Chain A
């Protein structure tokens, strides 16, 4: 079936969702993203349509094919001498931090 037609049907009838609300809540937690109650149905529908779309890959015959992680294979990660190459920019970098104190990043209390 045509992909956009599929999505439109899935949206209209709220059927054929390959992900449940519980699935999306779990994914959002793993990704440390707060998703509002209003946003949730939109993500359940759109993530389901994306998962259905990429499921097309399962049709490809990939027996014996090595996974490819990098487009220029044969290039090796370079090593460099273990010597100091950077100067101290702490103040400049910390100027972008939401909250700092005495050169440290401040977060809510972690240990009571």
Chain B
């Protein structure tokens, strides 16, 4: 079936004319129409625009143009601004917001000829680990619709797992690509901070946010990342360093690679989950890599550090939503203060308000040193731990999450328990490192993820290591029943 072909295979069919992008687009649109009602993975479907873009891609192909993404369908997380298309960020606040320009990621993929099918559901303003905080309702996990798909890019992950597009985009501030990728059995890449432009991405925590990709395999992710990444003068923290040819580097042999096993990631990890990681290590050993145990002593402090730094940045970033220039405005404000307070109080959901208030508290006079400054110092200690580890090893390996997908409703009333779900992913964001999650087996019939992390700008190595693993295993080719 078309939805199970790789991006490379599809590009070949499109280039030879055996398949048109319009046919491919219709195939995915029909699949979304049939299967999405059970999942709620999309907020907005842009079928007409998609068919017009596909027809334009077909003309480019007919004119002899070639490119790995011309005519390939994708779904964007609804955090990326899309010119002329509603960009809600999963919030009532932006339910009526039509983005007036394209995010750089959107513009680059558009220029590469990819075809946007719609916008994916997500936790409100990317704040959540279960996709239950969306104004548009929770997303269901294709492997079991009573389970969460993870978050915040839960719609993008579920859409990829359900094969609603050839790839989907996401953002990762504390694990929001890797964690849902793990819980839905797909490959997710969070690049180095500064590798992919943040321009046009609705800001949550600006020193942590990074855009990335969900794909069916590391090879597909490599093709997409090459098109997304690169310097952007419109993003003040974009890094001006060349983008490697990721697809060309997938086949490098792993012989001699040193892989670090993170001791802290196994403390309290369930035996069946730990066994999957050890199975993965055996595969890497058989490929010629060597493994050593490493320790990051400050890593257990990453969750409290994150839940000071991220809310602080969130409270600052979200002050732009004032009910004046765009977004939700309350009815009949009696004065300007009332307009601000009620527009924000009614426009934001519970978790967003909780994070804004946490951030306001840790930044307020009298608490700034004890919380915010302290967290920034611990952030350095955690980053230094990673730096020391990468003097000894090429990559770090561990689980992406402590458990497989949990029940919808199980953790939503207890924010701290929900926050602890990000325990393995947050470190990479604090240190700005690239991370990748790939499927490595099942616990209780639900997919689990293997996480790889590397030094800054080591995406090529992560994709290479993930691709070699996927040459030896078929976990990434498994799909949930009903989504074959």
CA distance A30 to B428 in the complex (A): 32
- Quick check: A54 and B345 within 8 Å, CB to CB? no
B contact residues around A8 at 8 Å (CB): 414
B contact residues around A30 at 8 Å (CB): 360, 364
Given contacts A71-B193, A72-B239, contact A34 B98 (CB under 8 A): no
CA distance A55 to B416 in the complex (A): 13
- Quick check: A98 and B373 within 8 Å, CB to CB? no
Per-position binary interface string of chain B over residues 156-182, scored 1 when its CB falls under 8 Å from any chain A CB and 0 otherwise: 000000000000000000000000000
Per-position binary interface string of chain A over residues 10-32, scored 1 when its CB falls under 8 Å from any chain B CB and 0 otherwise: 00000000010001100110111
B contact residues around A27 at 8 Å (CB): 357, 360-361, 364
- Quick check: B376 and A69 within 8 Å, CB to CB? yes
**Interface of chain B, main secondary structure:** helix
Given contacts A3-B420, A57-B305, contact A35 B345 (CB under 8 A): yes
Given contacts A33-B345, A96-B98, contact A67 B381 (CB under 8 A): no
CA distance A6 to B214 in the complex (A): 36
CA distance A101 to B179 in the complex (A): 46
- Quick check: B381 and A65 within 8 Å, CB to CB? yes
**A70 is contacted by which of B97, B207, B308, B336 (Cβ under 8 Å)?**
B207
CA distance A24 to B360 in the complex (A): 10
Number of B residues near A (Cβ < 8 Å) is 78
B380 contacts partner chain A, Cβ-Cβ < 8 Å: yes
- Quick check: B417 and A43 within 8 Å, CB to CB? no
- Quick check: A4 and B417 within 8 Å, CB to CB? yes
B contact residues around A77 at 8 Å (CB): 236
- Quick check: A97 and B325 within 8 Å, CB to CB? yes
Smallest Cβ distance from A40 to chain B, in angstroms? 11
A contact residues around B272 at 8 Å (CB): none
A60 contacts partner chain B, Cβ-Cβ < 8 Å: yes
Smallest Cβ distance from A57 to chain B, in angstroms? 5
- Quick check: A98 and B357 within 8 Å, CB to CB? no
- Quick check: A68 and B376 within 8 Å, CB to CB? yes
B contact residues around A84 at 8 Å (CB): none
Q: Which of B41-49, B103-111, B347-355 contacts its partner?
A: B347-355
A contact residues around B208 at 8 Å (CB): 71
Q: Which residues of A50-93 are within 8 A (CB) of B?
A: 50-51, 53-58, 60, 62, 65-72, 75, 77-78, 80, 89, 92-93
Given contacts A47-B358, A72-B239, A108-B333, contact A35 B353 (CB under 8 A): yes
A1 contacts partner chain B, Cβ-Cβ < 8 Å: no
B contact residues around A47 at 8 Å (CB): 354, 357-358, 361
- Quick check: A28 and B416 within 8 Å, CB to CB? no
Q: Chain B residue with minimal CB distance to A62?
A: B377
- Quick check: A54 and B357 within 8 Å, CB to CB? no
A110 contacts partner chain B, Cβ-Cβ < 8 Å: yes
CA distance A49 to B415 in the complex (A): 8
Q: Max chain B CB contacts within 10 Å: which of A3, A50, A66, A97?
A: A50
Smallest Cβ distance from A107 to chain B, in angstroms? 6
Per-position binary interface string of chain B over residues 207-232, scored 1 when its CB falls under 8 Å from any chain A CB and 0 otherwise: 11000000000000000000000000
Q: Which residues of B259-304 are within 8 A (CB) of A?
A: 298, 301, 303-304
B92 contacts partner chain A, Cβ-Cβ < 8 Å: no
Given contacts A53-B307, A54-B304, contact A34 B379 (CB under 8 A): no
Q: List 21 A-B contacts (CB under 8 A).
A: A30-B360, A33-B348, A47-B361, A55-B304, A57-B305, A58-B370, A58-B374, A66-B377, A69-B376, A71-B193, A71-B429, A72-B432, A75-B237, A75-B239, A78-B233, A78-B236, A93-B100, A95-B100, A97-B326, A98-B328, A105-B325
